[in-house]
Structure 1
Amino acid sequence: MSPMALFMITLGIIISTLTVTSANHWLTAWLGLELNMISILPVITKQKHPRSTEAATKYFLTQAMASALMLFSSTLNAWQTGSWDITQLNNKLSCILMISALTMKMGAAPAHFWLPEVLQGSTLTTTLLITTWQKIAPITLLYMISNHIQSNILLPIGLLSILVGGWGGINQTQLRKMMAYSSIAHLGWTMAVISIAPNIALTNIIIYMTVSTPFFLLLTSSSSKTLQTMTTTWAHAPTATIIMMLLLLSMAGLPPLTGFTPKLLILDKLVMHKLTPAATTMAILSLLSLTFYLRTTYLLASTTSPTTTQSTTLWRLKPNYYQITTILTPIALFNITILPALLT
């Protein structure tokens, strides 16, 4: 890809997201989401491979359907209330349709089927972009309309997303699909509490993005795409291996790492609102996600010296791998050890 094309695509992705996050009018937000979708499609199709073309097609069809549903919902609300203001989504049917559209755009259950397939057909860098930056715009819109959403609408979606994210990730050997289901599960935690405590929900998804970003970058620099190739990591990059193990345990929500904090705050807020059964169900369903996180961590740790490597897969380090690791290590350590600051 030429530098000019890359610059224009990057500029489009950034401006479209900023347009949505600063919008007050539904049509402006819709325009930003459309520009965002158009900007990301060349990034997905950068690889000259049928899988990338299939991924881009699935992404386009899903996002176009969600955009149409979003436009219909906002038009219906304007027809009923006379307002195009994002924070004035007072019509109940419009609110339900808007939640469905934003759920489809984010990839939360039950509209999650496109996300693992799109990520599997994309590069690791594109996967990072879709699971982090592309979630900012729809989550911001969901945050802005959270005052008009009843918890009995989003709570079942959140529980279903946690179940699907944990159950689907157990059966995966491809790291991109596994991280797709991890993203679905974390979206479930966010959506379950966003109508009750929007700030805690926003904290949860921000922490997930800051923890998963170094993990994806380390995978990208080491060209690891499957669980089998991760078994050869220790012999070539012990520092990166330890950091990836800690990042995985943080995403799993184990104390005293950072990922434990938002989950504790979410469960506490649900119990305070007399939703103890839902909180208990979420805690139990999170054990499904913990299973594949621990399995991946075990594969990383089981080949430590002097144990022989369990895989014959060729190891391919990029030329600037050690420079990237040197930069990512302090960033990852900061993301892992931010827990004391959050607790104070």
Structure 2
Amino acid sequence: MTKIVVVGDPFVPATSLVKAAQQLDLSGTVEIKAFDWCLQQSREEFRQTIKIIEHEGPNDFELPEGLIAALKDATILLVHIAPVSKEMLQAARKLQLIGTCRGGLEHIDLAEWEKRPEVQLLHVIRNAEPVADFTIGLMYSVVRNIAYSYKEVQAGNWPQHFPNDQYKTSLSTMTVGLIGLGYIGKLVVKKLNGLGIPVIAYDVFADEEELKNAGYQLQLKDIETIFQQADIISLHLRVVPETINLIDQQLLRLMKPSAYLINTARPDILNKSDFYEILAQKRIAGAGIDVVWEEPIPKDDPLLNLDNLIITSHIAGDTIDAIERSPELLVQELNRYLKQGKSELLICHKNA
């Protein structure tokens, strides 16, 4: 018998995850046990809870009554952003697979999960396509001054000159460097390939031959070379201890004066003070970010004084169908994994 435990939340309720679980291609008897977490919270209140879990991790949250007991003989666990805590993982001794329909993994105690090599972790980024679209849009907006110009026109001005005047060109003449080739990064590659824009990339887990065989047109290089050569650098990394503040002054100072930095991933992979300094000193042409270190950004944040930075309000993945479709995307990828025994959305254990 296969026992599936699902834990819903105000964005993706348990009923949606149960429907997904019922569509899994499993043989034999299947039992599904459903729980909801924080369902009493409004969506706005729950956004604040998400911020807490993103910054403090999945432990120390009150869990639904009966969840720990249900996990003791569970083989599959499905969640959106409900915590997968140390206590839960320690209780789930028969667990084989965790499926989550969310890009970030802050809601999972990865340190505890690493101790369980028999437990596979598969995540579907519910808004991957919207984020990839937005990333390309932010590149155009920054390089071609779309947002800068709009802001000035709204203020009653008619700008013809911009901070990047000496570097203005079209994207077709530029090379884009991607830092991270997860699901979103690969979608960005596909879109850039369609536009005929050269791509170079850095990812410690990527294999260039495999990527090219899969249809991705790019060259893999080390991270220093990416920062030295790329005209636009776009960040697509997850936040793990190894990536926090990875993009610091040492790398930023390698960038061309004509280069731009784009971040639609997570703020913590970028050292804020070094990022501010590189822009304030006009060492690069500009930047565009959809993520900031504190939301909403404080009115006195020095980033707001920069004339070569575009900040959007964490809306890259915000489309009307992204969250609602996430359990559907999850079950599609889980069935692919169950049938083929592999998935590019499977998270690898460090020592695997």
- TM-score, scaled relative to structure 1: 0.22
Q: Indicate the structure (1 or 2) with the bigger Cα radius of gyration.
A: 2
More helix by share: 1
More strand by share: 2
- TM-score, scaled relative to structure 2: 0.22
